[in-house]
Amino acid sequence: MNTKIKVIIAVILSSIISLLWIIGLIIADINLFIIAIILLLITIPFAYKNFDELKEFFRTRKGEVVEDEREEYIQEQAGYMAFGLSIALNIYIAVAIITLRNLYPQYSPIAYVLIIITLISFIIFTIGKYYYKNKY
């Protein structure tokens, strides 16, 4: 199968997943959400197996380089900043909610969820960084 067909398959699957998520959220249908997750789980191995080929296709257009290492570095740095700010914001909001738990006890579970999400995100980030540090 050539690269163009793989790209078309990846774009179609990605579009279908996105549409299912959006429609599922709009009409509040959990079945569409579950179908989107199943399609995502099917798409991940395909994308992982063909990652280099798909990446190269999207980096170049008609032999002309659209994205280079400098652009990747800028996006990486922006991603680090966005990740750090979102983690800091989650922690700040969770601490504020926990501080106000005597006045608003009904919001305490939200603070715990924010802390758990922050910890899970940080653990995933640390594992990914360790993996890629050893890989490269």
CB contact at 8 A, 91 and 117? no
Cα 132 to chain center, whole Å? Answer: 17
One digit per residue, the tens of pLDDT, for the chain of length 136 reads 677 777 777 788 888 888 888 888 888 888 888 888 888 888 888 877 877 777 777 666 665 666 667 777 887 888 888 888 999 999 999 999 999 888 888 988 999 999 999 999 989 988 988 888 887 7
**How far apart are alpha carbons 87 and 93 in whole angstroms?**
10
pTM, two decimal places: 0.53
